[in-house]
Every structure is written in structure tokens, then in C-alpha cells.
Structure 1
């Protein structure tokens, strides 16, 4: 039977067309994944730098979608002959802009007052480039696809599936294990790889000609991406130092937050920052933690069982451990990196008096809470001495408390746990993000009340009644709406300014508890700052400080506190 050269040629042509189309679909899948990751990186940057995650994520995604539409329009100006070169150029530009945007934005944040313009510039550029990608690939694939519907279906489905894959990679890999600057360079490396395989394939098939200038540009881009990846952590430390007055001795991004410790050696001053916000300063943290802990501990009828929500730095735990009649302490903090740091870092563990040293630490990732065992914590005492069999030294130890540390979301913990506590201390960061605002909601405080013993006392960190007045008063209204009787008080903490808390009870302070109990209050444990007289002074407010034109409370479906905190607070600074 004679051979059919024309049939072989047609078969070869179809094979080449199918290979090219498959390659373009693969490129679209990868570019869809990279595109969504770059969008998330820009939104995360905006949230960390400008605050208010709700607004910044909406603004960044909305702005990027707008510029993507603009990019889809201007692609019409690209001639058919230049489409493949244009796609390679788009991926090269995305590799450079996407890779270096976090580093350059962070640099501008440390050294200029126009960092928001830099941030939105990169958002716009990346949006335009992503908007160019899809129509350009569709137009290229049009030569390798029989029908327009098949072309559109293949390319768009690859983009959408790639977007899901990118979201999963960002949430479960990049966000957990890499700094945001390094995640950007890893993503940009994939963009460059798309440019490279496209160039290699289409030049080998002689669909485009070898282009020496383009090769030089690609080599330079590859070098720039590798150079950025190798140096991004060093640049991050250098850029970050400009944001802090004192030398940084620790900087790491955990799964949940960015943690920084600074140390000013001449004064031995230690500062802890979470996501750029000061959490404590060693020179005056006693004012904060003693005011948070000791009024509640002293006014409670019983303090056998104590629950600390938040407080991963260990300083609140340090104060609770001073009470010899406390039997059990449960500390619930979401971030295991924070409690581990408070246990192992020499500066932070010294500050919290090694409060975590013998605590039982449980990291929970599943839906349930198992009771588990408590580990006994002992503290040295000079009252009585006994001879140690191991060392021969005279050492006396007495039982202080049984401590358990649980790395779990506080809201989920309260929802699933059984039992009640005599004292509950809520030591959460300020409500600057949606995740934190949830922990100041009526729904959350109802769970706190449900876990508070009938005669128990809760103490709630409540931001500044002066610099964040409406936020402070909203927290008070929300606590009242959850069924608490509240007692507001405040103290000057020089690092923060005027700071406020609420004591919360299931009984009326003016009836069941009465003012006499506060009048006769005494602290039975050593303190550095707080005295009964100082606490009674903390209960006094100026007559305008508890007045507000607002009546809203903070709930999950109406998180008004987030708006108060980010728009009506800190305007007096």
C-alpha cells in the first residue's frame, strides 16, 4: 500500500497544534495561579502597611480588577505577529514587578511618607499585566484551536483552576513558611519560567525567530530574580530596622503575625511588636499587666481556676502565678510561635520570669478539645528549705499552679470547652483587623460570660479611653449587651498613653459587690507599680470621657468597632 505523505503531514501538524495548545493551557494555568498569588501579596501588603484589612483587601482587589480591564483593552493594539513576544514580555515584567514590589514598597514605608502611592503603583502595574495575559494567550491559541468556543473554554478554565491552585498554595504554603518578600520572588520565578518555556518552544518550532536582545533581557531578568531571592531576607531586616527606634534582635513572620523584638541595651529596654504595633515595653509593662490582672484576682471570691485568653508574651501569666491559692491556669493563645518565643527567647523569658518553663503546651488543629493533664509548676521560696538529693544545695519548692497552654483560637476554645473559671483575663491585641474585632463582639463576650463562674470576675483589655475613646466605649456597651455588669478603669502607660480596661461581673457592682469591697481592697502579692490607692484612682474618669453620641454595639454581622478603631481613633496623636 503506498504511503500518504500528505496524511503524515496533516498528522504532524495536528500533533504540533495540540502540543502548542496544551502548552498555552498550561501557561494559563500557571499564570492564573501566579496572578492570584500576586493579588493576595499586594492585598496583604496593603493590610500590613495601611491597616484595616477589610477595606484594603477590597480596595486592592477592586483596583487590580479595574486595571485588568484596562489591560484587556490595550491588548488590542498588539499586532498578531508580535503576540508571542508580547506574552514573553508580560511574564518578564510580572517577574520583575511582582518580585520586587514588596521590597520596594516596604523600603518606601520606612523612608518616605508616600508609601501608599508606591503600593498602589505596583497594584496598578501588576493589574494591567495580568489583564493583558488572558486575551493575549487566547489570541495566540486561536491559531492552534479549531473553534472559538473550544479556545475560550480551554484557556478560561485553565485560568480559573489555576487561580484556585494559587489560592491554596498561598494559604497553606507561602503564608505559613515564607516571608512575604520571599513568596513574591518565588512567584515571580514561576512567571519567568513561563516566559522561558514559551520562548524555547516557539523558537524550536520556528514559529518565532531567535532574538538576541530578548535573550539578553531574559538573562538579566533571571539574574535579577535569583539575586532578589538570595538577598530578600537581608533586605527585609535592613528595611525593617528603619521602622523601629531600637535595634531589632528578633524578626519573624509566623502563620498568624509578624513578630519583632527590639532591645535598647543602655536602658535594657525590651519592646515586643506584633504586625508593627507595640505590644509591651519592659520599662512600663508592669503598669499594664498589674492593672489587667490584680484587680480581678483580688476582687474575685475565689481564684482557684484562672483562664487567660491571649497573653502569649507570658507577662499576665507571670502575675497570676504570684497567687499561691491558684490551682489551675489555662492560657489560650492562637499562635504557637508566640508562646514558644516567650518560652525560649532569653529577653522575653526573662521579662515574663520564665512563666512558661514548666507549662504543658498543647497545639490543637482539630475541632475537638481533650481535657489532657496539667503539669505542675513550682516556684522557689525562701520560707522553708530542704536539701536536694541531686545537688546537695538547700532548695525549697512549693506548689504554685497547674498550667496548660493551648494554641487555639479563643473563640473556638470557649465554644467547645466545658467548665467554668473563677477569673477570666482577656488580653487580646487591639481590634485593628476583622479577625481581632471578632474577639470584641457580643457573641464572643456571651461565651466568656457563659464560662465565668457565678461569683467570678473577668478583666478585659479595652484599648485607650482617650486616644480611642469611641472604641473603648463601644467595648463597654458590647460587654453590657452580653449581660455583664462592668466597672471601667484606666491608667497611664507611657508607651501607650492613657489605657483602659473593664472589670466584668455577673452581679451588679453597686448592689451585690458594693463599693465597700473596693474601698477595703488589698493586694496580697508583691507588685512593682499597682497599689490599692492607685487602683481606686484608676476608677476615676473625667466627665466627658464616658460620653458618646454613638449607641451601636459590636457584633459579628455589624463589626462597627473595626470602623471606630481605624477611623475615629488615634486622631489626637
Structure 2
């Protein structure tokens, strides 16, 4: 060892920590990106977890063949994991944009990453015993402790650091670079005497190539995402922003182009061609009665625009969990024109936060009308705004005789539409299901 045994053991455990963090980031990135592209988070999370756990078992069995060359095997595993995991987000996005088939890529990436992650711990177990012989039980306990703490760090770093600061594609590429650097450094420095000269040069060249591929991918992320958006949305993409919660895209809006359209995570949220039909049908029936104080759940300003058509409305509270959407609806010229600059009206107060939490902290009889203009229960924020508890809180928040308008989807999807109606009724409301053309509320 080039360092004392105690320091060498510590460096191995640090490597376990960092590799575990990278592995969990890959897993979360697969779930988050594919769920945002397909809108099916429950199924896809189950698929990723099941496939990865199964593949980890296979990887652990395959690692037995590498025990005699544990250092070289671990170096090769980390180089492969960095390449596959780092490029997985870009591969998934490409399959979605140009092939419209992200699910096979999801299963393939999950399988490959799981096999490589499963091979890590058995090989590290051999390496830590070469640093200093110790009781097998203690060695396993130390390795798994570092592994679990690293998974915690990766799980926290993904939503709070990597996703908001770098985005999904760049975040995965940077994670892969960290993975390659850490794994390569451990083997090529601490365990270099376990390698033949040929193995040493092979691993060095492999890690340099992996880092070069990841660096090239990072440099090309912006043009790649622009090309993928053109393939998905057409050539007239005007605005594309990652808010930390979702990707928002505005298309059209020019004099000679298509009507302005707002997409959230690849799904159409509003189109200037016909959104007024939906928002008029959602808002105006609920305004038949006292409506001085109105709560609007949904921050694109389009439902608030319809509420503000009533001159006797005194206050409108708009709540949305995504501050990026609120900024876009308030500051983008095209979207602000579409919502008639509703979010700048002096009667409007905008609150960024969880709609469920907002209702929970609203006192009894705080509003005359509640308008729930939120994405469906398959979206990222899940089914909480479509639960009996949510509607019960809304019932408490309205004054006697108050009304609640809920977006329930299309009546063509009879199961979802009537489930929403039954849930609202179960919370104590008297319901009136209705539809206008293909738009239902």
C-alpha cells in the first residue's frame, strides 16, 4: 500500500460512499426523466426498482468470477457504470424524442446499471480485506454502512442540488464523471501494485475515454436538448426552461406561426387555440353566487383571468407549487398576453407552495369559491389534489354556500372522471358533473 493501512481502509470506505451516491442518482434520474416523459410515475418507479434489484443480484453472482482480479475488475466495473449511468438520461431522452419508445431504453439502462452496481460491494469486500485483514462481519458492516450513508447523500443531492442546478441530462453526465474519477483513482493509485502493466494502461485509457465521452456529452447537452425539443414540439420552440420541478416549453405565438402553446414535461397544458373553452367552462359555473374571495389552484394565470372578469371580485389568491411557472406566466410576453396579465392585477396575490398545504392552513370560510386548475393525478405531483382529504379541506375553506370547481379530465375516460366525482361527493360536497364538448370539469 502507498499509504498506511488505516488510511487505505478509510479511502476504500470513502469510495464506497461516493459510488453508492452515484448509483442512487442514476436510479432516481431514470425514474424522474421517464416519469416526466410518459406521465406514469407509479408504474415506472416499480419497473426501475424491480429491474435494478434483480440485476444487482445477477451482478453480485458475476462478481465471483472477478475475485482473483478484484482491483482490475472493480476498475472495469466503475468505468462501465460511469459510462452507462452518465449517458442514460441522454439515451432515454433521445429514444423518446426520435423513436417515441423510452420504455425499452429504461429497462435496458436499469438492467445494465443494476448489474454493475451489484458487482461493486463483493469486489470492494475483497479489496478492503487486502488493505487490512479483519473479521468478515466487521468488514461487511463497515462497507454497508458507507454504502447506505452514500445512498442517503445521493438521494438528497439529486432533488436539491443536481436537478435544480444542472438538470437531468447534465446532472447524470457529471455524476458519471465523478464515478469514473473516484473508481479509477482508487484502483490506479491505491491498488496499482495489484495490476499488471497491461491492466494498468488499459484501465487508464478506458477511464480517460469515458471521461472524454462524458465531457463531450456535457458540452453538447444544450444543442442536443434543442434538437430533441424540435423533434418533439416542432421547429417553433420559443421558450424552454427547467424549473427544478418540471420542464416548461412555450411554442408558437408568432404572427405567422402556430398559436401559443404551453407544455409541462412534454404534455400540453394550454393552447391559445382553444384553452378559453376549457377555462370558461371551469370557472364561470362556480362564479354563480357570492364570489368576492376566490382561491385559484394553478399558476398559469388562465383561470385567474376568467375570475377577474367579474368586477365585484375583491381578492384572488393564486397558488402553484412551481415558482418557475408563475414567473413565466407573469413575465413572458406571449403567455402574459394570453392570461390578460392576470398575475399583475392588484387584486391578485400569488403564493408559491403546495396547494394541499395551503388548504390545510386556510381558516374556515376563508373563500367563496375554490377553482382547482391542476394537472391530473398521473402528473408529477401525484394524486394528493384529487383525494378525499383534499376536497374535505376545500369544503372547510369555503363559506356557507361556497363552490368548488374541479378539473376532472375527459368524460371519455369514464373511470377517472367518475372517480373524481365520487371522491368529491364522498368529502361532503353536493356535486354537479358537466362537460363542454371534449372538455370536462
Superposition pairs of residues 337-348 of structure 1, within 5 angstroms? 337-348=324-335
- Tell me which residue corresponds to 1:349: 336
Question: Is 1:151 aligned with 2:177?
Answer: no
Distance in 2 (CA, whole Å) between partners of 1:276 and 1:87 is 39
Superposition pairs of residues 4-403 of structure 1, within 5 angstroms? 16-80=4-68, 82-147=69-134, 148-202=136-190, 206-210=193-197, 211-245=200-234, 247-263=236-252, 265=254, 266-297=256-287, 299-300=288-289, 302-310=290-298, 312-358=299-345, 377=346, 402-403=347-348
Distance in 2 (CA, whole Å) between partners of 1:246 and 1:481 is 46
Distance in 2 (CA, whole Å) between partners of 1:49 and 1:331 is 27
Change beyond 3 A, Cα 1:308–1:207: same
Offset of 1:133 from its aligned partner?
0.6
- Segment drifting more, 205-214 vs 102-111: 205-214
Offset of 1:268 from its aligned partner?
4.7
Distance in 2 (CA, whole Å) between partners of 1:268 and 1:42 is 33
Distance in 1 (CA, whole Å) between partners of 2:121 and 2:22 is 13
Distance in 1 (CA, whole Å) between partners of 2:22 and 2:384 is 31
- Choose from 351, 361, 384 the match for 1:438: 384
- Choose from 407, 426, 437 the match for 1:481: 426
- Choose from 359, 362, 369 the match for 1:423: 369
Change beyond 3 A, Cα 1:25–1:142: same
- Tell me which residue corresponds to 2:351: 406
Offset of 1:132 from its aligned partner?
0.6
* Equivalent position SS for 2:77: helix
Deviation track 1:94-124 (CA, whole Å, cap 9, x = no partner) reads 1111111111111111222443112211110
Distance in 2 (CA, whole Å) between partners of 1:348 and 1:49 is 23
Question: Is 1:447 aligned with 2:387?
Answer: no
Distance in 1 (CA, whole Å) between partners of 2:120 and 2:99 is 33
- Tell me which residue corresponds to 1:499: 439
Change beyond 3 A, Cα 1:15–1:196: closer
Runs (5+) with no aligned partner, structure 2: none
2:409–2:416 Cα contact (<8 Å) kept: yes
* Equivalent position SS for 2:431: strand
Distance in 2 (CA, whole Å) between partners of 1:14 and 1:239 is 48
Offset of 1:19 from its aligned partner?
2.7
1:271–1:280 Cα contact (<8 Å) kept: yes
Offset of 1:218 from its aligned partner?
2.0
1:69–1:128 Cα contact (<8 Å) kept: yes
2:236–2:257 Cα contact (<8 Å) kept: no
* Equivalent position SS for 2:368: strand
Deviation track 1:170-217 (CA, whole Å, cap 9, x = no partner) reads 1221232221101101110111111331244136x6343443333222
- Choose from 389, 409, 417 the match for 1:472: 417
- Tell me which residue corresponds to 1:512: none
Change beyond 3 A, Cα 1:323–1:264: closer
- TM-score (ref. length: structure 2): 0.94
2:167–2:244 Cα contact (<8 Å) kept: no
Distance in 2 (CA, whole Å) between partners of 1:72 and 1:213 is 24
1:272–1:281 Cα contact (<8 Å) kept: yes
Distance in 2 (CA, whole Å) between partners of 1:258 and 1:19 is 44
The structure, 1 or 2, with the larger RCO (C-alpha pairs under 8 Å, 6+ apart) is: 2
* Equivalent position SS for 2:248: strand
Higher CA-based Rg:
1
* Equivalent position SS for 2:286: helix
Deviation track 1:199-248 (CA, whole Å, cap 9, x = no partner) reads 44136x63434433332222211211111112213212211221124521
Offset of 1:15 from its aligned partner?
5.6
* Equivalent position SS for 2:233: coil
Offset of 1:457 from its aligned partner?
2.2
